[in-house]
Amino acid sequence: MTPSQNKEQRVAVFVDVQNMYYSAKNLYQSKVDFGKLLSYAIAGRKIVRAFAYVIKADVGSEKEFFEALNKIGYEVREKELQIFYGGAKKGDWDVGLCMDAVRVMPKIDAMVLVSGDGDYTDLLDYARSQGVRTEVIAFGKTGSGRLFSEADYVTDMGETADKFLIGKPRLSILKNVEEATNDIKQN
């Protein structure tokens, strides 16, 4: 718990599951432990609501994953993956997440956004204008600097990846190549 967090605060958590999934996969070849993430986000405060926003893509065991999210305390919001003529695909919850946040704002003291998506910058600005403390939890390397600068408090999951990931995190091959390239340039 940070000094500006206290156990009397009413908090709501909004998790952009796809953003977290792809960040963990691309950076660490790992998966997010959404149970640990929720516990960290709540930080001993009074939870009002916790939402997990997912896209249904009919792949593997997604139904079991969605049920697991529900069992650990999330209200799972599902949306179908849109496939357009020509094969383009789209699946995001930006507007839906924002609408849920606006609806719950009068009932909370703090909102925790679990996403690094810069599209949520205006949402944080609005929340702060309503007297709601804004906290962002995301991977710093894949997150928006604008989003982070708008938040009252930011947790970079990459600084303590083992706290948020399932198993032992491994840096991606791309990351290893970047580090090797930087070492060569410096020498």
Q: Which region, left, alpha or beta, applies to residue 43 given φ > 0 means left and ψ of -120 to 50 means alpha?
A: left
Q: Which two tokens stand for residue 128?
A: 């702060």
pLDDT tens, 56-72?
Answer: 876 667 888 899 999 99
What is the rounded distance in angstroms from the CA atom of residue 119 to the CA atom of residue 117? 5
Q: Work out the average pLDDT over 18-39.
A: 93
Average pLDDT, the chain: 86
In terms of Cα–Cα distance, which of 108, 102, 42 is closest to 72? Answer: 42
Task: Supply the CATH classification number for the domain 10-186.
Answer: 3.40.50.1010
**Predicted pLDDT of residue 100:** 97
Q: Work out the average pLDDT over 147-166.
A: 95
Domain residue ranges of the chain, discontinuous segments joined by +: 10-186
Please check the confidence at residue 173 and state whether its pLDDT lies above 50: no
- The single-letter code of the amino acid at 167 is G
**Predicted pLDDT of residue 1:** 74
Q: Work out the average pLDDT over 85-95.
A: 68
What is the rounded distance in angstroms from the CA atom of residue 65 to the CA atom of residue 58? 12
Please check the confidence at residue 179 and state whether its pLDDT lies above 90: no
**In terms of pLDDT, which residue wins out, 67 or 91?**
67
